[in-house]
Chain A
Amino acid sequence: MLPSSFTGGGAAKTRKHGGNNSRLEVGTTKRSLVPIFILAPFLVILFSLSIGRYPIDASSVVQVLWCKLTLQPCPVDEIYQTVVWDIRLPRAVLGAMVGGCLAISGASFQGLFRNPLVNAGLLGVSSGAGFGASVAIVMFDNVLITYLLAFSCGMLAVVLSYLIARVYKATPTIMLVLGGVIVSSVFSALISLLKYLADPTDQLPAIVFWLMGSLANARFNDILIAGVPMLIGISGLLLLRWRINVLSMGDREAHTLGINTTLNKGIVIACASLATAGAVCVSGIIGWVGLVMPHIGRMLVGNDNKVLIPVSLSLGAVFLVIVDDVSRILTGGEIPLGILTALIGGPFFVYLLKKTKGGGW
């Protein structure tokens, strides 16, 4: 699935830069990619249900899904049902949502901050969430409280960054970045403090493991809890996606083009932060996805955020589900996702850079 969608995109890109072909042709080539990007995450989720340490053949997977969805009694072995429906499905769905959220927020922030090197954590949401989770691990040892604290501290960090930027009454982009840097480093210091104070036998490993990201404990409940902010954030960004083009022209130009920059920037930041905080609070900190998936999108479909934002969502979802599959299969011990995303994504990114010549940078 994945390679075919990528070569498809690459072909569209080269043709688009071919120059003399008519607009219609470019349009149709691009449009024919739409179903691929929409279907890809679902196909990857489906595919990942049958693979793992406990192999289940595709027909049983389909049978289980069919019975569960139509609420019929299931003829398939009970243990297959548990593995497919209660363990792998929520994990894959959550992985897709988390990956999609990180990538779409990253793409939005890159546009908003006019900087291709930023990711969703720019305003401190990741380190804030990491701090919240560490507090919860040290003080409460309860999964639900960990989610809540991680989410609220992540959002708190963004609010603080925003308030720091407001010293000038407006919110100049550079001040937001500075605010984000300050808040991130304060929260990172607090995380270190908590690691230092934590019980080294059980709490410290729990914090470290959380900070490296994992979907191993995903259940349907997590999707219900974290899904709300993630879906709100994703919908907002999808609706505002063309505006992000205009915002990326810089505050003054966006203003003269007729956009209320303070309001629009605020909404984009709020949506991206909701999506990221929702993702991070259940998965821990997973780097790389938010930075690099938008870039792969840029190489495949260009920089117009109208197309790039949804494509990033799809790519992020596909990528994280695949990485999580690899994490499940490779070792019994489950390598943390934050490590694997970089190990798998890095070389793949270099390959794409070579293949597409960077896409006009």
Chain B
Amino acid sequence: MKPLLEVQELSFKYSGDLIFDKVSLDIKPGEVFCLLGPNGCGKTTLLDCILGWLKPCSGRIMLDGADITDMPARRVAHHLAYVPQIHEKTFPYLVKDIVLMGRASYLGTFEAPSDEDVMIAERALEMVGMGSFKERPYTQLSGGEGQLVMVARALAQHTPMIIMDEPTAHLDYHHELTILETIVKLVRDSGLSVLMATHNPNHGFHLQKSGVNVRVAMLKNKRMIHVGSTAEVLSEYKLGELYDILVRIVDCVLEDGGILKQVVPVSTITRS
């Protein structure tokens, strides 16, 4: 299948310092791509390059076969939607107003959203199960609810792919699972692709268990060190290598007899 997104040998320098070097990846329709890596390895920077927000110093990013270098923000926004890691709330906009902003790339400079856009936004809210919150100021939502609203905004953008930067950071177990289940639903029902940076390798196992196509990539020391299926990449050895820790992977037998693998971080190790 033709990839939605291709990143070819991408390098990025921030005031002279190489952040990552010759990173390549591709994302196919209907798959979840989990990007793992220690703090500060450049995950967010890589996502920013893909979103066209930062300019890489070499390499190419192709969306549906077209280079994004000179692509206007509006066209990139028709291919990729973005769910930020931290959304800084300023004004108490209503939830529906926030989701409506997902329609910006379809509107002319002087245009305001039409009734149809309002319907699309409301449908997006329903899809993440937040339909009843539309008249609430979004500043009053909890972290998990706020994140679902951000997902709804990305859905309203009607893109084949959503980029999420640590979508479950700061969330409790319940909301973390809600976000993962929402991702599964979107990938399965709507055929969306998701590229997500995450600090929790268990997300890969969980998504795999739910039956969606998952690939995992590991970014470390400026390089993409491993890319592949969960079985290939999420091994005790490779996770240990990625985070410099001792790792055990255990099988949890679930009530239905299925097995959910879980990563157990044991201790740090110092490599000489």
Contact with A along B41-62 (1 / 0, CB 8 A): 0000000100111000000000
Quick one: which of A23, A115, A256, A257 has the most chain B CB within 10 A? A256
Contact yes or no, A303 B110, CB < 8 A = no
Enumerate chain B residues within 8 angstroms of A115, measured Cβ to Cβ: 90
Q: Is A123 an interface residue (CB 8 A)?
A: no
Rounded to whole Å, the gap between the CB of A28 and the closest CB of chain B is 15
Q: Is A250 an interface residue (CB 8 A)?
A: yes
Question: With the chains together, A304 CA to B134 CA distance in Å?
Answer: 13
Question: With the chains together, A298 CA to B75 CA distance in Å?
Answer: 33
Q: A19-B135, A239-B110, A243-B109 are in contact. Are A257 and B90 (CB under 8 A)?
A: no
Contact yes or no, A303 B91, CB < 8 A = yes
Q: Is A252 an interface residue (CB 8 A)?
A: yes
Q: Is A29 an interface residue (CB 8 A)?
A: no
Q: Which of B28-36, B96-104, B224-232, B244-252 contacts A (4 or more CB under 8 A)?
A: B96-104
Contact with A along B202-216 (1 / 0, CB 8 A): 000000000000000
Q: Is B170 an interface residue (CB 8 A)?
A: no
Contact yes or no, B109 A248, CB < 8 A = no
Q: A255-B51, A256-B77 are in contact. Are A304 and B135 (CB under 8 A)?
A: no
Q: Which of A17, A26, A260 meets B73, CB within 8 Å?
A: A260
Rounded to whole Å, the gap between the CB of B131 and the closest CB of chain A is 12
Contact yes or no, B94 A304, CB < 8 A = yes
Rounded to whole Å, the gap between the CB of A171 and the closest CB of chain B is 14
Enumerate chain A residues within 8 angstroms of B87, measured Cβ to Cβ: 249, 253
Contact yes or no, A248 B90, CB < 8 A = yes
Q: Is B80 an interface residue (CB 8 A)?
A: yes
Contact yes or no, B113 A242, CB < 8 A = yes
Q: Which of A16, A250, A257, A306 meets B102, CB within 8 Å?
A: A257
Rounded to whole Å, the gap between the CB of A286 and the closest CB of chain B is 25
Enumerate chain A residues within 8 angstroms of B268, measured Cβ to Cβ: none
Q: A255-B73, A256-B51 are in contact. Are A240 and B110 (CB under 8 A)?
A: yes
Q: A19-B135, A240-B109, A260-B73 are in contact. Are A252 and B93 (CB under 8 A)?
A: no
Q: Is A156 an interface residue (CB 8 A)?
A: no
Contact yes or no, A256 B82, CB < 8 A = yes
Question: With the chains together, A258 CA to B97 CA distance in Å?
Answer: 16
Contact yes or no, B93 A245, CB < 8 A = yes
Q: Is A106 an interface residue (CB 8 A)?
A: no
Q: Is B13 an interface residue (CB 8 A)?
A: no
Enumerate chain B residues within 8 angstroms of A259, measured Cβ to Cβ: 73-74, 104-105
- Which residue of the partner chain B has the closest CB to A263? B109
Enumerate chain B residues within 8 angstroms of A17, measured Cβ to Cβ: 135
Contact yes or no, B78 A258, CB < 8 A = yes
Question: What 7 A-B pairs have minimum CB-CB distances, sorted nearest first?
Answer: A258-B105, A258-B77, A360-B92, A256-B82, A242-B112, A239-B110, A360-B137
Contacts beyond the supplied A248-B91, A255-B53, A298-B91: 18 A-B pairs with Cβ under 8 Å: A242-B112, A242-B113, A243-B104, A245-B101, A246-B101, A250-B88, A252-B48, A252-B51, A253-B82, A256-B80, A256-B81, A258-B76, A258-B77, A264-B109, A303-B91, A360-B92, A360-B137, A361-B139
Q: Is A8 an interface residue (CB 8 A)?
A: no
Residue pairs across A and B with Cβ atoms less than 8 A apart, 29 shown, are A19-B136, A23-B135, A26-B135, A111-B91, A116-B90, A116-B91, A242-B107, A242-B111, A245-B97, A246-B101, A249-B87, A253-B84, A256-B82, A257-B77, A258-B75, A258-B78, A258-B104, A259-B74, A259-B105, A260-B72, A261-B73, A264-B109, A298-B91, A302-B94, A303-B94, A304-B94, A360-B140, A361-B92, A361-B139
- Which residue of the partner chain B has the closest CB to A26? B135
Q: Is B157 an interface residue (CB 8 A)?
A: yes
Chain A interface secondary structure, helix, strand, loop or mixed? helix
Rounded to whole Å, the gap between the CB of A150 and the closest CB of chain B is 30
Enumerate chain A residues within 8 angstroms of B104, measured Cβ to Cβ: 243, 246, 254, 257-259
Rounded to whole Å, the gap between the CB of A166 and the closest CB of chain B is 16
Question: With the chains together, A246 CA to B93 CA distance in Å?
Answer: 11
Question: With the chains together, A298 CA to B90 CA distance in Å?
Answer: 13
B108-144 contacts to A (CB < 8 Å)? 109-113, 135-137, 139-140
Q: Is A114 an interface residue (CB 8 A)?
A: yes
Rounded to whole Å, the gap between the CB of A30 and the closest CB of chain B is 12
Rounded to whole Å, the gap between the CB of B152 and the closest CB of chain A is 13
Rounded to whole Å, the gap between the CB of B45 and the closest CB of chain A is 12
Enumerate chain B residues within 8 angstroms of A90, measured Cβ to Cβ: none
Q: Is A290 an interface residue (CB 8 A)?
A: no
Q: Is A359 an interface residue (CB 8 A)?
A: yes
Contact yes or no, A16 B52, CB < 8 A = no
Question: With the chains together, A254 CA to B98 CA distance in Å?
Answer: 12
Enumerate chain A residues within 8 angstroms of B81, measured Cβ to Cβ: 256
Question: With the chains together, A245 CA to B104 CA distance in Å?
Answer: 10
Question: With the chains together, A304 CA to B73 CA distance in Å?
Answer: 23
Question: With the chains together, A253 CA to B83 CA distance in Å?
Answer: 9
Q: Which of A252, A258, A303 meets B53, CB within 8 Å?
A: A252
Rounded to whole Å, the gap between the CB of B141 and the closest CB of chain A is 12
Enumerate chain A residues within 8 angstroms of B97, measured Cβ to Cβ: 245, 303-304
Contact yes or no, A16 B74, CB < 8 A = no
A1-30 contacts to B (CB < 8 Å)? 16-17, 19, 23, 26
Rounded to whole Å, the gap between the CB of B73 and the closest CB of chain A is 5
